[in-house]
Amino acid sequence: MATRVLIVEDEEQIARFVELELRHEGYVTDKAADGRTGLTKAESGEYDIVLLDIMLPELNGLEVLRRLRKTSEVPVILLTARDSVMDKVSGLDLGADDYVTKPFAIEELLARIRVALKKKGTTEKDDSSKLVWHDLTVDPAAYSATYGGTAIELSKREFDLLVLLLTNRNIVLGRDTLLQKVCGYDYVGETNVIDVYIRYLRSKIDERFGVHMIQTVRGVGYVIKDE
């Protein structure tokens, strides 16, 4: 079955260009020209991937993403004209799978779509059993994390990072490795993004439950040890 792509973009010219290129590649496409319509369509579950512009009328792309992630894990690639770290971090933190900065080459967008779809396919197949550390239980299949029965709310990136550290227990993972696995091999941007997510995880787990789970190995990266 053909892959269905939703393009949420108010700039008609860009939307049409992307649509034509995607159709040429065999994708089935649909468009929305404002955030509200985009959210409604994205929530319908009829699409395999969503291309989401950040600067949109009615609801901006980040707000669309925030609301969408309450009900859907559909892969989202942000299209942004802005090139600030804050937009990227908040976009990724809200659960975007990737982003492309305008103006982009269509080949780059196509490559990122393929990566996002492939990543979705592999995470659905792997990660079927629960991961346990002390009182922490993480269930990748159910996308849930609890500590001593208390639910922990994590963003997609925080969750992916935690799963990665837990499945590689006692192995120190470098920032670059973590960045590649969590953000995609072709992620271009600030490498301190990982440090930001580690900080979020520590405040949500280590500090909240008074444990020392994520250890820093200075100059190298991070590790969760069995002890």
Which residues lie near Ca ion (CB under 5 A)? 10, 53, 55
Q: Which two tokens stand for residue 194?
A: 């990982």
User: Helix (H, G, I), strand (E, B), or coil: what is residue 222?
Assistant: strand
Beta strands (DSSP E) in 74-165 are 76-80, 98-101, 131-133, 136-139, 144-147, 150-151
Nearer to Ca ion, 8 or 74 (CB): 8
**Shortest spacing between CB 56 and Ca ion, in angstroms:** 6
- Measured from the CB of residue 4, what is the shortest distance to Ca ion in angstroms? 22
Measured CA to CA, the distance from residue 124 to residue 140 in angstroms comes to 9
Q: Which is nearer to Ca ion, 8 or 136 (CB)?
A: 8
Under a CB-based contact definition with an 8 Å cutoff, are residues 57 and 35 in contact?
yes
Please say which residue, 55 or 100, places its beta carbon nearer to Ca ion.
55
Closest distance between Ca ion and the C-beta of residue 101, in Å? 13
Q: 55 vs 110, which CB is nearer to Ca ion?
A: 55
The number of CA neighbours under 13 Å toward the Cβ of 197 is: 32
Which residue's CB comes closest to Ca ion? 55
When the beta carbons of 19 and 53 are compared against Ca ion, the nearer one is 53
- Least spacing, CB of residue 73 vs Ca ion, in Å: 24
Q: How far is the CB of 79 from Ca ion (least distance, A)?
A: 8
CA distance linking residue 110 with residue 131, whole number of Å: 34
Neighbouring C-beta atoms of residue 121, cutoff 10 Å: 10
Return the number of other C-beta atoms located less than 10 Å from residue 149's C-beta.
7
Q: How far is the CB of 212 from Ca ion (least distance, A)?
A: 45
Name the DSSP class of 2.
Answer: P
53 or 87: whose CB is closer to Ca ion? 53
